[in-house]
Structure 1
Amino acid sequence: MLIPNILNVAINLFFIYFAVSLLLSALQEQIISLLALRAKNLKSSIITMLGDGDKDTKLLTDNLYQHPLIKSLNQQGNKWLKRTRNILFIPINLLLNYFNKKSNKKNSITWNSIGPSYLNSEIFSDTLLDLLRKDYGLYFNTYSDGINNIINQLEKELARRDNSQNIQESRSGENPNNNTSKLSKLPDELLKNLYALALQTKNKAAEGNATITEFNNNIANWFDESMERATGVYKRNAFGLSLLLGFMIAIIGNIDTIHMINQLYNDPALNETLSGFAKQQIETIESQCKNELPEVTNDCIKSKFNNLNLNDIRSFPIGWEVQEIETTKNNSSQANKTINFNFFGYNIQAKRQQNSALFTIFGWIITAFALAQGAPFWFDLLNNVLKVKVRSSGQRYDSTTNKQK
């Protein structure tokens, strides 16, 4: 009975993680949407991509976002969401400005200056080239000599900046930055990157007949590569948010992993009953979502799970016990050993026996890390454990229906 009992503990534990992870993901999506975290990350990444976050870089980024091709992508949402954001942005901007001054961050942005959450690489490259031509005086045409014109102009500007630097070093007190060229307003990093991309376009072109279209494509590829790196940063930040929300949910719902394992393992009857309930729920979800396309399976799982009757989930060893204070006076010595507090005339304590508060907090931390893995992870793992349980009982598992035979 040892192996089946352990498998049942795993099934029940993974089912709780799966169910609560759905709640966490829904809450996280609302927070990300409300605070426009994706849009903020995109704009911050573009600022980093174009330069070092100085005044010229921010001005160029603002001009990009005001371009009709990008400005038309910005969706403000309904009036309620916009008003809520405006209210939240006031204290958030104050905090950001404070921490930016402390850390001397140059590529910081205010939360009310954000734009779209996603930007296509072709739209970015078209917008940047159009902006360089109209506002920064980068002349080119669509003929084969267009790339040569760009290279010559960028070379002259780079040479001018090098000469200006040399003069500034040799003649202190003289201001060499008296050039009236519009290209002088471009950030140094962007100028160097554009020059490298232009040379790359020319070198890769057949017989040297490079076109502006190929240069445009190289800018788009450069944008895609930069956004891939930015996506990694965003995922790490999102995982941190998941940990924070997971820990909060674990506290509010008293989802203590250590306590759940102890209770389930020491009560085989309850363990078996709850694992049967979890198995039934998972089979119901899979039977309704098995014909869905892979890209919409997760959405189907969420919607079907929300429609199921989860009243029996109260039987799982989670949550808080609420009692009137008078009934707990005689148990004050035991209450001091556990998480225990008063709330409007009621005594609230964790569902446990002789576990210290330290174990409780550690159990919450384990739960937070588990919930941060996401519902799809636990759904797949739960399916695998169910298959192992069926096979260990000597029965065959039908992979087409996900049921035992």
Structure 2
Amino acid sequence: MFQTPILDVAAGLLLFFLVLSLVCTSLNESISRMLQLREELLWKALTSLFQNSEDEQSATLARNILDHNLVDALSPPGKDTSFIPSDVFSIAVLDLIGLNATDSQTEISDQLDAAKTAKSGDLGDTVFETLKPLAVAAGKSLDDFRQGIERWYGATMDRATALYKGQMQVVTFCVAFALCLMVNADTLMLAKALWTNPQVSAKLAAEAQTVAKLQPPVNVSASSSAANQPSSELVTPLPPELQTAKSNVFGLIGWSGTFPWQTGYDHANEHRYPATWWEFFLKLIGLLMTTFAACLGAPFWFDALSKVISLKNGGSPQAAPAAGNQKA
């Protein structure tokens, strides 16, 4: 085993970044739910499926899909759902245009034309014109038509997910910086505190060793399917080991003391407010370092922490992780 102060400090810092990343992820999900970002993104994706998202007919079609019994059952009472599985979407569309039961001897495109004649007054022509190429490709197979709709919807949601991830990267940075500023999460300050207090760094390193045995967390904000999952399934409470680590880590940061222009300002206090331009600069660097670290996500820091702990243990493998994914 390699018991060196450098590894203890490294383990403590990585544990700090891991905990802060999980806290930021939890805050991000709360903001996403509050602003209904997933619901808004799903609405835009549905309207974009049918030509112009500003078109009144496209909005009507999207509303009809969201109001379908199978889709509506996925949402909380009085609210729109934040996700629609591809199979449910295809069933809703087929039901909407009246092609649930078809004649296997007739081309799907011909049946679609018949449905257009019967329902264009209620639905307009947009949905039928959009689905026409899929119907032609399906031949006489309703299953192929349904699968084509599902692939078409899936490709649209992939683009929506990419947009969602871009939005959440901006949200993550803003949330991380605001949190770091509020709690004085200064990487430079914490690194100095751990280096000059071997007992504290050893304690955090021991906690890091316990945390490294847990199941790796899932970075839901950056997940490829995050925009198309029910938000209620994306956040779960931190396990007890991480709750303890969070309390101990946050006990090492924070602001204290008076402002520089007030009586009793203590220059020896590591948690003091900066008094000079140089101190302001160093504080900003320390806060930005922590902010960018939090933006990398919990899975990144969990992996880095596991490698450092493995090095401390002489390269021995970690114990088998606990069952189930831990999410924040």
The TM tier, using the shorter chain, reads 0.7 to 0.9
Return closer, same or farther for 1:321/1:386 CA change in 2, 3 Å cut-off.
same
TM-score by length of 2: 0.76
Check conservation: 2:20, 2:294, Cα contact below 8 A: yes
Distance between the aligned counterparts of 2:303 and 2:191, measured in 1?
20
Instruction: After TM superposition, list the pairs within 5 Å mapping 1:29-108 onto structure 2.
Output: 29-53=29-53, 54-76=55-77
Match of 2:10 in 1: 10
Return closer, same or farther for 1:274/1:401 CA change in 2, 3 Å cut-off.
farther
Return closer, same or farther for 1:401/1:219 CA change in 2, 3 Å cut-off.
closer
Return closer, same or farther for 1:352/1:273 CA change in 2, 3 Å cut-off.
farther
Aligned with residue 124 of structure 2, among 181, 185, 194: 185
Check conservation: 2:32, 2:38, Cα contact below 8 A: yes
Check conservation: 1:14, 1:381, Cα contact below 8 A: yes
Return closer, same or farther for 1:361/1:200 CA change in 2, 3 Å cut-off.
same
Match of 1:163 in 2: none
Distance between the aligned counterparts of 1:353 and 1:229, measured in 2?
47
TM-score by length of 1: 0.63
SS at match of 2:148: helix
Give the residue type in structure 2 aligned to 1:43. W
SS at match of 2:257: strand
Structure 1 unmatched ranges of 5 or more: 77-81, 83-113, 158-179, 203-209, 339-347
1:261 pairs with 2:180: no
Distance between the aligned counterparts of 1:34 and 1:198, measured in 2?
39
* Cα deviations by residue, 1:28-76 (Å, 9 ceiling, x for unpaired): 2222223332222212211122221111111111122222222222214
Task: Give the aligned length.
Answer: 303
Instruction: After TM superposition, list the pairs within 5 Å mapping 1:251-330 onto structure 2.
Output: 251-265=181-195, 267=196, 270=197, 272-286=198-212, 289=214, 302-308=238-244, 312-313=248-249, 316=252, 318-323=253-258, 328-329=262-263
Instruction: After TM superposition, list the pairs within 5 Å mapping 1:349-360 onto structure 2.
Output: 349-350=272-273, 355-360=278-283
SS at match of 1:302: coil
Match of 1:196 in 2: 133
Structure 2 unmatched ranges of 5 or more: 220-233, 322-328
Distance between the aligned counterparts of 1:390 and 1:200, measured in 2?
59
Give the residue type in structure 2 aligned to 1:373. L
Return closer, same or farther for 1:260/1:399 CA change in 2, 3 Å cut-off.
closer
Give me the CA root mean square deviation.
4.0
Higher Rg:
1
CA deviation after TM superposition for structure 1 residue 150, in Å:
3.7
Match of 1:165 in 2: none
More helix, by proportion: 1
Aligned with residue 372 of structure 1, among 287, 295, 311: 295
Check conservation: 1:319, 1:350, Cα contact below 8 A: no
